[in-house]
Structures are given as structure tokens and as C-alpha cells.
Structure 1
Amino acid sequence: MNFKRLKPFVFIALAAFVSGCGLFGIGGKGDSSRTTGWEYNAEETGNIPNISGYEQEAGPGLVFVQGGTFTMGRVEQDVMYRNDNYPRRVTVASFYMDETEVSNQDYREFTHWTGRVYPGDVERMKAITPDSSVWRRDLAYNEPYVNNYFRHPAYSEYPVVGVSWEQAEAYCAWRTDRVNEQILVDREIITHDNTQTGENVYTTDTYLAGLYQGTEGDKPVENPDGTTRRPKWEDGIMLPNYRLPTEAEWEYAAYGLIGNTDGELLTDRKLYPWNGSYLRQDKKKEKGRLKANFVRGRGDMMGMAGALNDNADIAAPVFSYEPNDYNLYCMSGNVNEWVADVYRPMSLNDVEEFNPFRGNVITEYRRDPNGQLMRDQYGELIRDTIAGMDYRNVLDGDPTSQIVEGDTWIGNDKQTEGMYIQDDRPGAFSSLIDDEVRVYKGGSWLDRPYWLVPGTRRYLEQTKAQNDLGFRCAMTRVGSPEGF
């Protein structure tokens, strides 16, 4: 039985079950407070809200990754001599992650929706369309990929490439809204409105703020007193945001160490997402075949005719090769993957031991002089960075990170530009490190085995794209690490 093909139907069935069972275990009349004895959700006590027994379901395409502690960083020789990744122990909270890289078909849903809802908006379409020119090489015949890789159905299940970090972020936001919109449709709280356009487009934020004027369904949320209302975030109906995984989350999930433990004892560390240091299968039926899609040696992208070893000249379909112990596919090879983190050589010295991450930018909704939420021309709520809460550069270029004695550093208000040489003059040396450079990981069909090790890391400007760089989404888990 093909369980991958059943997943969408399982999710729909779960949504239907939840829809028929009420508001995720909403406390009924008779449930009372342990502290006051007052009844919850009862009119005579003021309808004190209480929802008990909430358990988060995985969103479409996601699998559960149970968190824990692991040693993050380099596990073999630092052949690049960057010294930016020595091992350190950290803890990652449980989360959800796409079982595969985002495919061309997945991403085409995004571009199709955008073209339908914003017809004629050339700039918006251009901003999200993958850059097919990444396939071009001066001395290679790659034009067929320029024309076909993203658009042709032959490549529908291949990982999307040519997407920048910013485009990956935009996809995550769009996917969040479409999944939450479908949840509300499945529960008959709203109905699909294929005429939405301009400012009146469903987003999770605008819906929760009461600004989206869609078509109401037959089953709005019912209060204990019989009145109805829109769902609130506190009801637990909608899912948290899809987002890019942090570097720590990605690396932790790639290793899949749950198959290498005896109680709390880690019996075997891993070099790759599979056990052992070998790149070939040792099972009898597939003995000798490669476990991932990568370059074996100069000019050898896929093996010889009659015995194509990894059966992939470029990328391979997203469900290729065996998954790791978290049931995640292609965490080594196939295409590299963007993660959320801003790159710094010495972040490992600065980040927290729990959920390490560099890249926090804390925002708030913009309001007009009357206190009303403000939206852009697409109806999306505008967010502004709170003063002093852009933490991409913290402990790296700010006064607390100075290594020079005296007050010269503080007096000049140095930031990243003062730590790393930035020189745009032709022929001049300039560091690639700034606040818009992001980490990517995983190795690809263009890479040698060194980059298949999850502990390795590289970086690229967040506006750039490559023909071997894609992404997958993650989602925060709310509540306990595995349920009680």
C-alpha cells in the first residue's frame, strides 16, 4: 500500500473528524476551574473559556520530529579551513518538517494561485517566479532545463530550484494561509471564495483581525450561550506558520538519531543521515547502489549507461532514495536547502543552548493615528521592526562584541560593516558576510560527498538562487515534546 498517496486523504478525514467533534475538546458545561470551582463555558459564571485536551495535528506534507539534545557541528575534517563549525551540544524542541523538498508542482500551485488572484500584476509574479536562468552555463548545453525544468510535467515531482531565500519565505507564508483557509472550509466555518482579489484576500492574520470579508459557512464557532462568532487564535483551530527550519532544526532532523539510541545513550554517531561511513547500499538486492544523489568524481554525475548508479543526471524526484529514521527524504544530496539562519562564522559561540538561531527580527503591526491596523495594496497587514529588536547582528559587530580596548568601537557605532570588509569598487576585496546572507545545507547533485554531511554549512545572499538549491518547510510544535 502506498501510504504517501494516502496522506492527503488521511488529513481530510482527520479534519472531518475534528469538525464533527467540536472545538478540539472544548470544555463543556460541568468542567470547572481547579482554582475557583467556577464552571467553564457556562453562562451563569460568565462563559469563562476553556479548551482541554488539545493535541496538534501535523499539517499537510509534514512529519513529526521529536526534539532532544545532540552534538551540532563538524564531524569530520574542516577541509575549507573556516573553523566556523566546531562541535557543541544543543537542544532542539520538537517540531514538524516536510518529508520532502518542495517540488516544482508544489511551487507551481503558489504561482498559479498568485496569477489567478492578482491577474496582470507582473511585478508580483516576477517576484515569486523561480529564476530559470540559473541553469545557463557558458560552456554547457543546458537550455532544455531553462525551458523545461520548472514548467514541464516531466519534472513536476522534482525539487524546485532557482528560488531565493526570500522566495522560499514567501512560499511558506502563502502555504500557511492556504492550509488554514482549507481548515476553515473543511469545518464549514467559511466557504471557498475564488473571486477574492486585491485587498480582500484571505490571510491568517487578516482573518483573525476580522478584516477578511469572505463567504461565511454554515457552522461558525458557537459560544456556550448559543451565539456565534469567528474563530480566535485561542480556539486552536488554525495551525502555526509554515516556515523555513532553523539550521539547528535542519541538522538535527537530517541525522535522525532516534534509531541510534538505547534509552538516553547514543550508541552510534552518524556521518550521514544513514548509519556507517559508506555511500553505497549493502542490502542484497541493491548492493552497491548509491544512497544519495551526488557527484562521485570529476565528470561522473550518474554512472555508466546500463548501470546508472544514482539514476539522476541532475536532481531526482523528491521521493527518491531511502528516507532517514524520521521518514525524511533526501536530507543528503539531490539539492541543497535554505535554512532560516543568518550566517556568521562564530555564531556557535553566541547562540543559546536551547533552540539556537541567529536571525530574530521582532516586529509589530503598523497602526494609523486612530489605532487601526494598516494594510498594503494586497490587503496584507504591514509589520514594522521594533526599535532595537533586529537581532541578526547581535554579539557580532555591536559594542558588546568589541575586541579592541577602549571606547573607539562604541563611539563609532560599528555594525556588521565594521566587522567585515564591504567594498563595492571593481576588483576590490569584499566580504560576503552581512545581515542578508543565509545558511544553506545538505549537499546536492553538483556536490562531492563532503557536503552531504549534515554538519557542513555554506552561505549565500538571500536574494540569490542556484540550480542546485531548494528548500523544505517546517512548523513549530505547540505543547509538549511528544504529548502526555
Structure 2
Amino acid sequence: MNRIYLHVVISLLGVGALSSCGGGGSKGGAYSEKTGYAYNQRENGGFEVKKNFKRGPGPGLIEIEGGEFIMGGSATDIPGQDMSAYNYKRQVTVSSFYMDETEVSNTDWLEYLHWIKTTFRGKPELREYYYEALPDTLVWRKPLSYNEPYVNNYLRHPAYGDYPVVGVSWLQATDYCVWRTDRVNEFILREKGIMTPFKDLNKPAGKGAKSNANTGAQPGIIYNTDAYLNGQIKDTGKNAPVDLSATANPNGKGKALRNVRLEDGEIYQPYRLPTEAEWEYAALGLIGNTQYANINEKKIYPWNGLGITSPKKSTRGMILANFKRGKGDYMGVGGSLNDKGSITQSVRSFTPNDFGLYNMAGNVSEWVQDVYRLNTFEATEGLNPFRGNEYADKERDPQSNVIKLDGKGRPVMKPAASGVKQTWAQLQSQYVDSTYKADQRGFKDEEKNLPNGELVTLYNNKSRVYKGGSWNDQAMWLNPAARRFLQEDESTADIGFRCAMTMLGAPEVKSAGKPQFRNKPAKPFKVK
């Protein structure tokens, strides 16, 4: 986990917001309950607080209200299937989070490739960056199967545009999450006018284009959220927040503007792969079966019931997910196709589960963050269980605090120097605590090596979990508790992914109609 310098409060954006908060506690504005000082006032030192923050999901995401559930609790309930090798049961709690409504599609990935091509045009690093981001379309090739049309067409042809991207390794999926975070945050800031809007950046010189050598669209400078928050990318649009610090506008002429800070609440949390616990919790969708903390009906699939076909009159008998019914039955009989897909299907196929998530069973299996261990959940934490922590810090200059960036415009990361906050002297000297184990992926489960250096087990610290079942799997793998693994740099034609995002603040997503404790606001302090 990167070191985050915490601040006590969140700052207000814009002149309109500031005008409603002036005057100090005695005048009814925003003020400190502990010191009496008014917030958002230059004369009081310019300390800013945002009181009207409203959270919401980023593009493509929906809210998943967390809670307690039995992880692995559905595995042994599959009729006629032996899931003992994958059976683990543990009561855990998952914090509320956001998750992609659908799997990442071919069109989504082509957008990613297009950005790389246009942003790095003419640069020597383009070819390597672009090549590393390309999915492996050769995953469709089989020695005894004619799949060459998929090799040549599946990724790029519009017939498969809304189908899930495949041939993507765990490493490529996580890299996409990093890229998506920066693009979404840049889009939001430019659309709101906090940064220079794209339309103004693209104007030819002499026609109102803003001259700013540090904007993300200028040659050699690529927007990155961490670099922007650290002040290394300076770009203030007309709606950028006013800088209330005493040194920002010493002459008092005009308005000094500043970059958004983390405290302003405008920057989205990073997109990432969901943890295994988050994925399983979201796939089960028990929220639709719960009333007053009681689960009325258990699930073995993302839908209710023991069957795999729809019980509704209008869709009776239709298969509820895209999977393989038998060793050679991928879609049923001509004229009466069962799941209507020989390979993958649109990311919005079938009916979403009670959380509103599509294809949480079948279509493609999905990467999750976790490193695979067979007995992971025997020793895991009860809150947000996860195996795969690899703690790292951004590499900074100790004097200037400037973050070092790589050729992609992203922070260079280094193993975390310590498990606790370092002293100032240690930080300046780049002190490293040799007793601190940065990589906890094999925590309490170390690998064992043979004399020739080979591993005893088939899995290691680069073995990653994937879940959900696919078009190429039979029904037993559709169970949310089923788990398998693959090396993080490998890919297949039946594994894709979707992104998640951490939800900050209160875990309750919708409070309307639910009982709440009512708390009195603090009384303003008045100087007598």
C-alpha cells in the first residue's frame, strides 16, 4: 500500500461554495468545533473544509453494499458435483465497494490501445508499450480445432465489439486498471473545467488555445493522478478552486487558482481488480434474498434455485448463463439454441443478478487480485480477506518531494521501506528497515524448493485466482465459490475481467426508509 499523507479535513471548491461558508462560527458558517476558527477564510489562514461531499461510482461501476456472508458456503450444495477440492467455508465481512456492471469488452480494450498509439506516436517506447498491451489472440488456436477466424477477427471486428476481451493476462488486466484510473480522473477534471477542457487544448495556436506547458495534453507530459495531486502537473481551468493561502495572491489582484487536492473529493479512487472475497460476494447477490438480516433462500448460482434454466413464463426453459452443457455441447441444437452462443457473448447477455451485475456466471471466467493458495481462508482475516499484499511506496526525491515518473508517465514504485511511519531523519537518509518484509503474498505459507530449485507445488507467488466459469466450462464452475488459478503472465480464450473500486465513507448505500440515529449538530462558539 502506498504511503498516504492524511489530512484532517476536506477543502471546498469554487467561489460559490466559499461564499456560503464565510463569517466564522458566530455567523453560522463552517467553522472548527475545536478552535472556533472559521473555515475557508483567507484571513484565518485559508484552511479549507468541504462539507457537502457526495460520493458516487465512477464510469461503468455500480454500488455494492457490503456485509457478512459465508465465503465458500455455496460450494457443496451443487447436486451431483464433487467440490471438495474447492470447498472452504469461512464467515467474513466485505466492505462496500463499486464493481463494473459488465466485463471489459473488446471495444473497451481497443480504446486503450488507441490511446497508447496516439499518445506515444513518434516516441521510441510506443512499439514496446503497444505490443505489451496487445491481447494474445493466439489463445484461440487449438491443434484439432478450426478457430483461425477468431484469431484474426475476435478482438477487432465489430461483430465482437461488445464481447468480453480475452487473451489478457492478469498483469495486462491490472495495467489496464491503472490506465483507466488516470483517464477517468483527467476526463472528470477537464469536463468540469477544473483543468483546461479538451476542446480548448485542441484549438490551434492563436484561436483561444490555453498556453500551459504543464498540461497533460502537452508533448512529453501525460496526466497521472499521483503526479497531478503532487503538483507536478499544473493546469487550472476557469472552475479550478481558489487558492486561499496567504502567499497565493499577495497583491490581492484577481484570483489565484490551484490544482484539486485529495481533500476536495473530486478525484476517484483507483480502478483495480476485485478481491476474491469481493467477487464471490458480488456474484452471489444475497441482497435480494435478505430481509431483516435473515437470508430467506441460499444460492448456489448468481440466481435463485437449483436449476440452470429460467422458471419465468416468458423465458421458461432458457439457459441462464453462457456455458458448456456437455463435453461437445456448446450451444444446443440448431433451431433451438440453449444459451445462444458457441463461444463468448455480449457482456450484457442474460439477466443481471440482484446487484445488477451481468454474467457473474459463465461467458468468461474473471481474474481477481488474489494470489492462489489452496488453504488461503484457513488463516485469513475476517474483514476484507485477501492474499496478495505487496507493499510499495512511490519513489520521491527526499528534498523536493517530487515523484519520479516512468516512460508511461506513472510513478516509479519501490518496496516499502518500513512497516511504520519513519522518522524525518530516516526519510531524509532513505533509511530501509531490513527487518520489514514488504512482500506478504506467501504470508504463513512459504514456498518449498527442491534441490534443483524447482517448486514442490504447481502454484507460487505469481499464481492468481480466477472465478466464475466460462463458455468453455460445465455447470459446476458457475458456482461463485469455485476457484482456480493460472500464472499472472498467462492468458486463455475463456478468461476476462472486470474492474472494481474502493468505496469511501459509510458502508450503507441507501439509507432512505431505514431507521437512523439522529445526532445534534455542534453549537457555535461565541466569543464573550
**1:206 alignment partner, SS class:** helix
Equivalent pair of 1:24/1:53 in contact (CA under 8 Å) = no
1:224 CA displacement:
4.6
Tell me whether 1:373 sits opposite 2:403 in the alignment. yes
Tell me whether 1:467 sits opposite 2:469 in the alignment. no
2:230: which partner in 1? 209
Distance in 2 (CA, whole Å) between partners of 1:243 and 1:24 is 34
Distance in 2 (CA, whole Å) between partners of 1:227 and 1:328 is 45
**2:410 alignment partner, SS class:** coil
**1:115 alignment partner, SS class:** helix
1:168: which partner in 2? 173
Closer, same or farther: CA 424–464 of 1 in aligned 2, 3 Å: farther
Equivalent pair of 2:468/2:479 in contact (CA under 8 Å) = yes
Closer, same or farther: CA 23–327 of 1 in aligned 2, 3 Å: farther
Equivalent pair of 1:255/1:454 in contact (CA under 8 Å) = yes
1:393 CA displacement:
1.3
Tell me whether 1:227 sits opposite 2:256 in the alignment. yes
Equivalent pair of 1:442/1:452 in contact (CA under 8 Å) = yes
2:388: which partner in 1? 359
The alignment covers a number of residue pairs equal to: 442
Q: Partner letter of residue 66 of structure 1?
A: E
**1:180 alignment partner, SS class:** helix
Identity of aligned residues (%): 46
Closer, same or farther: CA 60–24 of 1 in aligned 2, 3 Å: farther
Equivalent pair of 1:332/1:442 in contact (CA under 8 Å) = yes
1:14-163 correspondence runs (5 A): 27-29=21-23, 30-77=29-76, 79=82, 81-82=84-85, 85-119=87-121, 121-163=126-168
Closer, same or farther: CA 21–223 of 1 in aligned 2, 3 Å: closer
Q: Partner letter of residue 291 of structure 2?
A: D
Distance in 2 (CA, whole Å) between partners of 1:305 and 1:417 is 52
CA deviations over 1:343-366 (Å, ceiling 9, x no partner) = 111110121100001111111111
Aligned with residue 182 of structure 2, among 177, 183, 200: 177
Tell me whether 1:301 sits opposite 2:327 in the alignment. no
1:295 CA displacement:
0.6
Q: Partner letter of residue 65 of structure 1?
A: I
1:85 CA displacement:
3.7
Closer, same or farther: CA 70–436 of 1 in aligned 2, 3 Å: same
Distance in 1 (CA, whole Å) between partners of 2:144 and 2:18 is 59
**1:229 alignment partner, SS class:** coil
Distance in 1 (CA, whole Å) between partners of 2:41 and 2:19 is 15
1:66 CA displacement:
0.3
2:268: which partner in 1? 239
1:376 CA displacement:
1.8
Query: More deviation in 196-205 or 168-177?
Result: 196-205
Q: Partner letter of residue 416 of structure 2?
A: I
Distance in 2 (CA, whole Å) between partners of 1:25 and 1:127 is 50
* TM-score normalised by L of structure 2: 0.79
1:406: which partner in 2? none
2:362: which partner in 1? 333
CA deviations over 1:180-206 (Å, ceiling 9, x no partner) = 001101111222256847741011111
Equivalent pair of 1:290/1:310 in contact (CA under 8 Å) = yes
Query: More deviation in 201-210 or 173-182?
Result: 201-210
1:389: which partner in 2? 438
1:404: which partner in 2? none
Distance in 1 (CA, whole Å) between partners of 2:177 and 2:291 is 36
Q: Partner letter of residue 168 of structure 1?
A: A
Query: More deviation in 351-360 or 26-35?
Result: 26-35
Distance in 2 (CA, whole Å) between partners of 1:28 and 1:331 is 50
Which consecutive segments of 4 or more residues in structure 1 shift more than 4 A?
Answer: 18-29, 368-371, 421-425
CA deviations over 1:137-175 (Å, ceiling 9, x no partner) = 000000000000001011000000000000000111111
Richer in strand (by share): 1
**Uncovered stretches (5+) of structure 2, i.e. residues with no partner:** 1-11, 24-28, 203-215, 246-254, 418-436, 512-528
Give the superposed CA RMSD.
Answer: 2.4
Closer, same or farther: CA 26–267 of 1 in aligned 2, 3 Å: farther
Equivalent pair of 1:25/1:54 in contact (CA under 8 Å) = no
Closer, same or farther: CA 238–450 of 1 in aligned 2, 3 Å: same
1:395 CA displacement:
1.3
Equivalent pair of 1:241/1:475 in contact (CA under 8 Å) = yes
1:76 CA displacement:
3.5
Aligned with residue 441 of structure 1, among 461, 464, 467: 467
Distance in 2 (CA, whole Å) between partners of 1:19 and 1:40 is 13
**1:116 alignment partner, SS class:** helix
1:53 CA displacement:
2.9
Closer, same or farther: CA 27–167 of 1 in aligned 2, 3 Å: farther
**Uncovered stretches (5+) of structure 1, i.e. residues with no partner:** 1-17, 398-415
**2:392 alignment partner, SS class:** strand
Distance in 2 (CA, whole Å) between partners of 1:360 and 1:138 is 38
Distance in 2 (CA, whole Å) between partners of 1:22 and 1:172 is 34
1:411: which partner in 2? none
Distance in 1 (CA, whole Å) between partners of 2:67 and 2:416 is 32
Q: Partner letter of residue 266 of structure 1?
A: I
Equivalent pair of 2:47/2:244 in contact (CA under 8 Å) = no
1:465 CA displacement:
0.3
CA deviations over 1:362-385 (Å, ceiling 9, x no partner) = 111113464543222233221101
Closer, same or farther: CA 147–231 of 1 in aligned 2, 3 Å: same
1:256: which partner in 2? 285
Distance in 1 (CA, whole Å) between partners of 2:233 and 2:225 is 9
Closer, same or farther: CA 24–181 of 1 in aligned 2, 3 Å: farther
**2:344 alignment partner, SS class:** coil
1:277-292 correspondence runs (5 A): 277-292=306-321
The structure with the larger Rg is 2
* TM-score normalised by L of structure 1: 0.86
1:322 CA displacement:
0.2
Q: Partner letter of residue 114 of structure 1?
A: I
Distance in 2 (CA, whole Å) between partners of 1:74 and 1:49 is 47
Query: More deviation in 113-122 or 275-284?
Result: 113-122
Query: More deviation in 103-112 or 227-236?
Result: 227-236
Distance in 1 (CA, whole Å) between partners of 2:17 and 2:333 is 58
Distance in 1 (CA, whole Å) between partners of 2:15 and 2:167 is 44
Equivalent pair of 1:423/1:430 in contact (CA under 8 Å) = no
CA deviations over 1:380-426 (Å, ceiling 9, x no partner) = 221101152211111111xxxxxxxxxxxxxxxxxx244xx69688x
1:432: which partner in 2? 458
Equivalent pair of 1:97/1:474 in contact (CA under 8 Å) = yes
Equivalent pair of 1:301/1:312 in contact (CA under 8 Å) = yes
